[in-house]
A and B are shown apart, each in its own frame.
Chain A
Amino acid sequence: MLFLLIRMQTLSAQSFSAAVNYRFCTNTQFDQAIRVYNSSRPFLTNKQALFRNGFGATVGYSFATKKYPKSNYGIELAYAYFGSYAENDGFINDMQLHNLTPRFFTRLKITKHIFGQVNLGLPCYGMFRQINSETVTNDGTPIRAFGIGFSILPQLFYSFKLNEHITLCPTFGIDYCPFQYSPQGEALINQTKGLYTNNSNSFFGFDFGIKVNFLSKGN
Chain B
Amino acid sequence: MVRRKFLKLSSLAAMGWIVSPNLISCAKNTLFDNPNYKGKVLIIGAGAAGLYAGYLLQSLGVDFQILEARNNHGGRLGKLEGFANFPIDLGAQWLHGNNNILADLVKKSKTKVTNDQSEMSYWFQNQIVQSLPKNVEIFDNEGLPDISFEAYALQQGLGEEYKYIIESLAGDQGADASEISAYWNHKEEENWVSGDDDFKFEESYFDFINKNIAQPILSKIQLNSPIDQINYTTDKIQLKLSSGTILEADKVIVTVPISILKLNEITFIPSLSQSKTQAFQKIGMGAGMKVFMKFSTKFFDQNITGGHICAAYADDSVGKAVDDNVLLAFVMGEQAEYLTSLGNDTAITTALLQELDTMYNGQATLNFLSGVVFDWTKEPFIKGAYSFSTVNMGDARLIAAQSVDNKLFFAGEAMNINGHHQTVQGAVESAYKAVNDLILNLK
Contacts and interface: CB of A to CB of B under 8 A. Distances in A.
B18 A176 contact: yes
B22 A202 contact: yes
Interface of A: 26-28, 31-32, 34-36, 38-44, 47-50, 88-91, 93, 131-132, 136-140, 143, 176, 178, 187, 191-196, 202-205
A6 to B, nearest CB: 36
The CB with the most chain B CB atoms within 10 A, among A26, A89, A178, is that of: A26
Given A28-B25, A204-B22, A204-B23, A138 B108 contact: no
A98 B18 CA distance: 24
Given A41-B104, A138-B196, A204-B22, 17 more contacts: A26-B23, A27-B25, A31-B25, A31-B29, A32-B25, A38-B30, A42-B55, A47-B30, A191-B100, A191-B103, A191-B193, A192-B429, A193-B418, A195-B433, A202-B21, A204-B18, A205-B22
B105 A187 contact: no
A35 B29 contact: yes
Contact of A193 (B98, B191, B212): B191
5 contacts: A31-B25, A138-B193, A191-B194, A193-B191, A202-B21
Contact of A28 (B21, B100, B101, B110): B21
Contact of A195 (B25, B55, B418): B418
A194 B105 contact: no
B62 to A, nearest CB: 12
A138 B99 contact: yes
A192 B193 contact: yes
A48 B29 contact: yes
Interface string B428-439: 010011001000
B270 interface: no
B328 interface: no
B440 to A, nearest CB: 10
Contact of B30 (A39, A132, A187, A193): A39
Interface residues of B, number: 43
Interface string B405-443: 000000000000111100000000100110010000000
Interface in B191-207: 191-196
Interface string B14-50: 0000110111011011111100000000000000000
Contacts of B97: 138
A48 to B, nearest CB: 7
Given A132-B107, A138-B196, A143-B99, A195 B429 contact: yes
A49 B193 contact: no
Given A32-B25, A91-B107, A42 B194 contact: no
B56 interface: yes
Given A138-B196, A139-B195, A43 B23 contact: no
A88 B194 CA distance: 21
A178 to B, nearest CB: 7
Given A38-B29, A50-B29, A91-B108, A28 B194 contact: no
Contact of A40 (B101, B109, B419): B101
B341 interface: no
B25 A26 contact: yes
A89 B108 contact: yes
Contact of A91 (B25, B31, B104, B196): B104
B99 A193 contact: no
Interface string B173-215: 0000000000000000001111110000000000000001000
B234 interface: no
A139 B22 CA distance: 34
B29 A34 contact: yes
Interface in B64-112: 97-101, 103-105, 107-110
B59 interface: yes
Contacts of A48: 29
Contacts of B436: 36, 39-40, 196
Nearest to A205: B22
A50 B28 CA distance: 9
A38 B33 CA distance: 10
A43 B195 contact: no
Nearest to A195: B418
Contacts of B194: 138, 191
